[in-house]
Amino acid sequence: MDVSGHRVLALALIMKALVLDGPKPVEQSPLRLASCQDPSPGPGQIRVRVHTCGICHTDVHTVVGDLALPRLPLIPGHQVVGVVDAAGDSAERFGLGDRVGVAWLHWACGSCRFCAAGSENLCEAARFTGYHTDGGYAEQTVVPEAFAYEIPEVFTDVDASPLLCAGIIGYRALRLSGAKPGERLGLYGFGASAHITLQVARHLGCETYVFSRGREHLRLAERLGAAWTGRAEESPPHKLHSAIIFAPAGNLVPRALEHLDKGGTLALAGITMSAIPQLDYRRHLYHERTIRSVTNSTRADGEALLRIAAEIPIRPQTQSFSLNEANRALQLLADGQINGAGVLEVKSGKGYRG
């Protein structure tokens, strides 16, 4: 149907959502379940009826206030899979009922020097889902259609959700680490992103070494084909050609650099990190070792990750929660108690009991 120039699959007025009024420790359950007005798509935007939304460490950093919040109240969540149920003026890319994904990058200006150079992840005016705009911890969310993704049919909604941030940022980190087929890659921290990145790296022919403090995480890495697993303070049997740190722990940086071979690159994949200890030039950096951060991602990263994920195909290990269990899910994630990726299931009212 068409209502006031909008294409609409179904009319509704009120949705359930988890709202952050102000940052609090995860132990204090900072998200409240609320009834909110359905969002309305503007020109070039689509509204997505949320089926699933992945739970990300960035969500933890958001709700506890590790990141300066540009607005409150706020609905977090940026690994959304659902169907288009309304479209604004001039939004013609997707049809009503099409399944789409929504990721961290909500919008980029397209005209600043970074966008012009193909680095929209560094856009001066970029906006991010579940941070600048309301995200997917809700029954509906709105996104510019140009920043939505087609989801390959090979993935269920639950399996697709972690790909939209954990997968994409892991893929970008893998690229920036310079990892090559036949070389040794170290992964520090083995949560949602690393367990997807390992599958991509093995598909590309890398030998993977996984460092984690969680025994279940190490067992998962072994099941997924890691060549070696151990704790961060342990030394791998061989020098690494490249490495990625996923954990927001600055103390891992010198340890990773010590295990890096000459000319190797260490990529830092977190959106935040604790203080990095003082480095010794000869011990940690000499012989042309490189450290580089990984900042957000581009739509090209997302398209490439979804394409290669479908080819493999990647099978994320997931743990599902209902919408009103989000506070508990964030507590488990912060405590390292989710092995693989956590996903909120919202579709058809399954995410709300009350």
**pLDDT tens, the chain, 354 aa long:** 554 556 766 555 789 999 999 999 999 999 999 999 999 999 999 999 999 999 999 999 999 999 999 999 999 999 999 999 999 999 999 999 999 999 999 999 999 999 999 999 999 999 999 999 999 999 999 999 999 999 999 999 999 999 999 999 999 999 999 999 999 999 999 999 999 999 999 999 999 999 999 999 999 999 999 999 999 999 999 999 999 999 999 999 999 999 999 999 999 999 999 999 999 999 999 999 999 999 999 999 999 999 999 999 999 999 999 999 999 999 999 999 999 999 999 974 333 322
Q: Are residues 116 and 50 in the same domain?
A: yes
* Interior/surface letters 136-154, b for 16+ CB within 10 angstroms, e for the rest: bbbbbbbbbbebbbebbee
Domain membership flag for residue 308: no
The pLDDT score that the predictor gives to residue 352 is 33
Spatial separation of the C-alpha atoms in residues 259 and 281, rounded to whole Å: 14
Strands (E), 257-351: 260-268, 290-293, 318-322, 341-345
Q: Are residues 8 and 139 in the same domain?
A: yes
Q: Are residues 135 and 241 in the same domain?
A: no
Q: Are residues 134 and 153 in the same domain?
A: yes
Q: Are residues 26 and 108 in the same domain?
A: yes
Q: Are residues 10 and 138 in the same domain?
A: yes
Q: Is the dihedral of CA 73, 79, 83, 87 positive or negative?
A: positive
The pLDDT score that the predictor gives to residue 12 is 58
Domain membership flag for residue 203: yes
Structural domain count, the chain: 2
CATH of the domain at 242: 3.40.50.720
Q: Are residues 183 and 133 in the same domain?
A: no
Domain that holds residue 67: 2-164+317-349
Give the burial class of 331: count Cβ atoms within 10 A of its Cβ; 0-12 exposed, 13-18 middle, 19 or more buried: middle
Which residue, 277, 293, 309, sits at the end of a domain? 293
Integer CA distances (angstroms), 203 to 225, 300, 315, in order: 11, 19, 13
CATH of the domain at 66: 3.90.180.10
Chain length of the chain:
354
The pLDDT score that the predictor gives to residue 14 is 85
Domain membership flag for residue 253: yes
Q: Are residues 101 and 68 in the same domain?
A: yes
Q: Are residues 159 and 14 in the same domain?
A: yes
Q: Are residues 32 and 125 in the same domain?
A: yes
The pLDDT score that the predictor gives to residue 274 is 95
Domain membership flag for residue 69: yes
Spatial separation of the C-alpha atoms in residues 2 and 191, rounded to whole Å: 44
Q: Are residues 26 and 145 in the same domain?
A: yes
- pTM for the full predicted model: 0.92
Spatial separation of the C-alpha atoms in residues 331 and 28, rounded to whole Å: 9
Q: Is the backbone of residue 4 left (phi > 0), alpha (psi -120 to 50) or beta?
A: left
Q: Are residues 218 and 158 in the same domain?
A: no
Domain membership flag for residue 306: no
pLDDT (tens digit per residue) in 120-152: 999 999 999 999 999 999 999 999 999 999 999
